[in-house]
């Protein structure tokens, strides 16, 4: 399997075998990601980290991944400090950056920006989120988390909970889980339901999808993947509080779930998971955050052709 020079734009660009290969490489990266082993695998390589939109976890974990492998990082975290402010196009910014680096990691507020960047750049582009579009590295780290927490991806039942309409991570994740034959529940307020195309696509891939509006029936789920319900989606603040409150995961709800249920969240969270769960073995969301590092290490090493 050769990933050298490849762009990482959408999870749909990967086959199931390729995803498993990335996760295998990520597994091998774990001791380095944890700081237990030192590595100079990417010594002499430069990653440009171009964040046209703010990010905490994606940017920091990519930069940590590159540095843990002995590579260097250049870039910006706010476009206000670049020539974009003077009216430069993104295409020109990409062409400039590529002449200084070996790989570009980017986040941009507009859908399709990573695809466009990949057409202009000769170095690999890794999409760190393009508007409401794709976030493939989040998807890979979510799969990696399920694999690590449950021992395997296949055979688990997963509930995706919260804002399934606008949440960019859940669309890619639903597709990827369907690729692994996983039956899913989509649990959301009626106004924030999973887009019809995503539901249809999953069903066409042969998995069972149940669409529900409440958390009443989660007793047989292996994984609860919770996302944030954003305040700005509701014109009335009271309506928001009512809706958000009814999708909150807390100790009482946990009693209804399987004893070994895994709770995941792409973070940042607001109120959707009670902090009282943080210390339970079920809470996997901080481990999930950490998993971003080995997965991104694996991707960097693969697209740079240092690992096959």
**Would you please indicate which residues are annotated as catalytic (active-site) residues?**
57-58, 86, 107, 135
| Least distance (Å) between residue 94 CB and other proteins | 10
| Least distance (Å) between residue 62 CB and other proteins | 21
Site residues for other proteins, 90-149, by CB under 8 A, read: 90-91, 108-113, 115-116, 119, 130-133
Looking at 17, 197, 232, 255, which residue binds other proteins (CB under 8 A)? 197
Q: What is the DSSP letter of 283?
A: B
State which residue, 20 or 91, has the beta carbon closest to other proteins: 91
235 Cβ contact partners less than 8 Å away, ≥ 6 residues apart: none
Buried b (16+ CB within 10 A) or exposed e, 8-18: bbbbeebeeee
The token pair that represents 43 in the structure block: 């010594």
- Distance (Å, rounded) from C-alpha 179 to C-alpha 148? 18
Coil, strand, or helix at residue 254? helix
State which residue, 107 or 148, has the beta carbon closest to other proteins: 107
Q: Give the strands of the sheet with 103-108, arranged side by side.
A: 72-76, 46-51, 103-108, 125-130
State which residue, 7 or 149, has the beta carbon closest to other proteins: 7
Q: Is 169 one of the binding residues for other proteins (CB under 8 A)?
A: no
State which residue, 197 or 238, has the beta carbon closest to other proteins: 197
State which residue, 204 or 236, has the beta carbon closest to other proteins: 204
Site residues for other proteins, 46-75, by CB under 8 A, read: none
| Least distance (Å) between residue 104 CB and other proteins | 15
Q: Quick count: other Cβ atoms within 10 Å of Cβ 169? A: 19
Q: Are 63 and 46 in contact (CB under 8 A)?
A: no
| N residues, the chain | 308
Cα separations in angstroms, 70 against 59, 63, 118, 225, 301 = 17, 11, 25, 33, 11
| Least distance (Å) between residue 105 CB and other proteins | 17
Site residues for other proteins, 248-287, by CB under 8 A, read: none
Interacting residues toward other proteins by CB under 8 A: 10, 89-91, 108-113, 115-116, 119, 130-133, 197
């Amino acid at each position: 399997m050769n990933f050298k020079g490849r762009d990482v734009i959408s999870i749909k660009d990967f086959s199931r075998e390729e995803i498993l290969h990335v996760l295998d490489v990520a597994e091998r990266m774990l001791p380095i990601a944890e700081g237990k082993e030192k590595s100079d695998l990417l010594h002499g390589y430069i990653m440009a980290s171009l964040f046209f939109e703010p990010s905490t976890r994606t940017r920091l974990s990519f930069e940590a991944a590159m540095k843990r492998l002995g590579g260097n990082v250049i870039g910006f975290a706010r476009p206000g400090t670049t020539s974009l402010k003077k009216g430069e196009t993104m295409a020109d910014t990409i062409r400039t950056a590529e002449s200084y680096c070996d790989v570009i990691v980017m986040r941009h507020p507009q859908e399709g920006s990573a695809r466009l960047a990949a057409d202009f750049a000769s170095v690999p582009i890794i999409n760190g989120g393009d508007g409401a579009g794709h976030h493939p590295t989040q998807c890979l780290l979510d799969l990696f988390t399920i694999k690590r927490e449950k021992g395997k991806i296949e055979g688990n039942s997963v509930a995706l909970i919260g804002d399934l309409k606008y949440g960019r991570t859940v669309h890619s994740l639903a597709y990827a889980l369907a690729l692994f034959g996983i039956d899913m529940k989509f649990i959301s307020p009626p106004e924030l339901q999973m887009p019809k195309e995503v539901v249809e696509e999953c069903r066409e891939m042969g998995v069972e999808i149940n669409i529900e509006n409440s958390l009443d029936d989660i007793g047989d789920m292996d994984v609860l993947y919770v996302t944030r319900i954003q305040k700005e989606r509701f014109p009335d603040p009271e309506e928001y509080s009512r809706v958000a409150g009814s999708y909150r995961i807390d100790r009482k709800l946990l009693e209804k779930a399987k004893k070994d249920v895994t709770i995941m969240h792409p973070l940042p969270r607001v109120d959707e998971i009670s902090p009282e769960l943080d210390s339970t073995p079920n809470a996997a969301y901080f481990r999930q955050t950490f998993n971003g590092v080995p997965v991104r290490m694996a991707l960097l090493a693969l697209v740079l052709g240092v690992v096959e």
